[in-house]
A and B are shown apart, each in its own frame.
Chain A
Amino acid sequence: MYVLHYAPDNASLIIRLALEEAGLPYRTSLVDRAIRAQDSAAYRHLNPAGLIPALETPDGPIFETAAILLWLSDKHDLGPKPDAPTRGTYLKWLFFLSNTVHSDLRQLFYPSQYVPADAVAGHHALITARLTQHFTLLNDAAADHPQLFAPTAILTTYLGPLMRWCVLYPVGQIQWFDLGLYPHLARAVTALENRPAARRAAIAEGLGASPFSAPGYSKPPEGTPL
């Protein structure tokens, strides 16, 4: 039985989607961001870096979104195995999503951790231009490798929430993200949000009926997204 340490509409959503879609037994444990529980000694014991999510497994805790996805993928056969011919393509796009796309999103959402206040607007313009290029590349990759970007595939599970947050965060930003520019990705994440597994995840975190194709702010039954 896995225990997912989560906050609503945080990166833990990506792991919840994967667990739900694979039908794996798990329970959740809320990390209460309102009292900065991610900085508590108990949470730091699971993840010394203090970032959400962490997953408790029979082999001990694991953290970092992409690390958890890859571990679940190998453990439960949710993606190409190490000896599969498509393993290399799978890994390169998984790492690209993690340390290029997700890492740029983090800079976009928490600019004060990276640039001084008077430089935030320029920083936003620069990062969003870069993200637009990233999603264009991913859209091309999805056209070339439809199986790796199928609606239930690990890469799509990662992409759906990342694209959702481009619309919603940081709160008050000028809208820059247009899902319609990436038809292959749009098709995949729209199919994903209509699956029963994703519906269950959306209800658990208060994400509404179209969390990826027409996102609105989360109204979760417990916890806070920010």
Chain B
Amino acid sequence: MYTLHAIPDFASLIVHLVLEELGQPYSLHTLDFDSGDLDTPAFRAIHPFGKIPAMETPDGPMFETAAITLWLADRHGTLAPAPTAPDRTEFLSWFFFNNFSLHTGMMALVHPYRPGGEDIVFPVSETAHARLMSELGTLDAMIAARNPRWLSPDQPSILTYHLAVLMRWMKAFAYFPEHAIDSTKFPAIHAILRAMESRPAAIRAAADEGLTGTFFSNPES
């Protein structure tokens, strides 16, 4: 039994989607950012710096979104190539790329005031947008050329759901509307988002967090 500590439409959404897809028993503990729930001693005992998500497991508490989803995939033998599979190399490369480059870039697009305050929000957003467009182009070309089973419209993976949520936020929550990233510019990625948002497990997790419709491919802002 897992307990996921979550805030609707925060990074916990990625873990929530994965848990629904796994079909493993879990409970969702929803926190309230504005009430200071992240700063309570009880939550800090689970997550030392009070961020979302955190997940309690029989082996102890975990944090870092991608660490949690990879741990779940390996433990339950699904949603990622197994450690001994020949395509584990390629999968891990792009899984960490997604996390290291795209997730970081998304943060700059959505919160451009974080790196240096309000004075430079536009240039920060602009450089993040340019870099993301280039990186997403690289990723889209790779999918079109290789059609990997771990990033495909045909079946979900932990990478697919992580990317889908990043694409959602880059469209819906870009600080500057002109830097919002439209998934239709990346046809291979767009096709995957369309397939994922019609999966029953994804629809259930999304509905729990108040999201409906084309919540990955064309989310409302």
Which residue numbers of A lie inside 8 Å of B, CB to CB?
A: 47-49, 57, 59-68, 70-71, 74-75, 81-83, 85-89, 91-92, 94-96, 98-100, 102-103, 107, 113-116, 119, 122-123, 126-127, 133, 137, 140
- CB-based contact A71/B119 at 8 Å: no
Write the nearest CB–CB distance from B19 to chain A, whole angstroms: 15
- CB-based contact A107/B75 at 8 Å: no
Residues of A within 8 A of B97 (CB): 49, 63-64, 67
Interface residues of B in 84-138 (CB under 8 A from A): 84, 86-90, 92-93, 95-97, 99-101, 103-104, 108, 115-117, 119-120, 123-124, 127-128, 131, 135, 138
Residues of B within 8 A of A86 (CB): 59
- CB-based contact B135/A60 at 8 Å: no
Write the nearest CB–CB distance from A143 to chain B, whole angstroms: 12
CB 8 Å contact bits of B36-64 with A (1 = contact, 0 = none): 00000000000011000000010110111
- CB-based contact A67/B93 at 8 Å: yes
Interface residues of B in 163-209 (CB under 8 A from A): none
A82 to B99, CA, bound (A): 20
Q: For the complex, is B67 an interface residue (Cβ under 8 Å from A)? A: yes
- CB-based contact B116/A99 at 8 Å: no
- CB-based contact A63/B75 at 8 Å: no
| 8 Å CB contact of B89 from A49, A60, A65, A116 | A60
Residues of B within 8 A of A88 (CB): 57, 59-60, 62, 67, 71
Name the residue on B nearest A48 (C-beta). Answer: B138
- CB-based contact A85/B100 at 8 Å: no
| 8 Å CB contact of A62 from B63, B67, B92 | B92
Residues of B within 8 A of A98 (CB): 96, 99-100
A4 to B93, CA, bound (A): 15
A91 to B99, CA, bound (A): 14
- CB-based contact B120/A119 at 8 Å: yes
Residues of B within 8 A of A127 (CB): 115
- CB-based contact B90/A107 at 8 Å: no
Which label, helix, strand, loop or mixed, suits the secondary structure of the B interface?
helix
A103 to B66, CA, bound (A): 14
The verdict on A49 contacting B67 (CB below 8 Å), with A59-B88, A62-B89, A123-B115 known, is: no
- CB-based contact B90/A122 at 8 Å: no
A81 to B117, CA, bound (A): 42
| 8 Å CB contact of B86 from A59, A64, A89, A113 | A59
- CB-based contact B123/A116 at 8 Å: yes
Show 18 A/B contacts (Cβ-Cβ < 8 Å), sorted by A: A47-B93, A57-B89, A60-B86, A71-B89, A82-B71, A83-B75, A89-B62, A92-B62, A99-B104, A103-B104, A114-B115, A115-B115, A116-B120, A116-B124, A123-B116, A127-B115, A133-B49, A137-B48
Q: For the complex, is B74 an interface residue (Cβ under 8 Å from A)? A: yes
Name the residue on A nearest B65 (C-beta). Answer: A95
- CB-based contact A103/B88 at 8 Å: no
Write the nearest CB–CB distance from A145 to chain B, whole angstroms: 10
- CB-based contact B96/A67 at 8 Å: yes
- CB-based contact A91/B100 at 8 Å: no
Residues of B within 8 A of A115 (CB): 115-116, 120, 123-124, 127
- CB-based contact A92/B67 at 8 Å: yes
Q: For the complex, is B70 an interface residue (Cβ under 8 Å from A)? A: yes
Write the nearest CB–CB distance from A220 to chain B, whole angstroms: 25
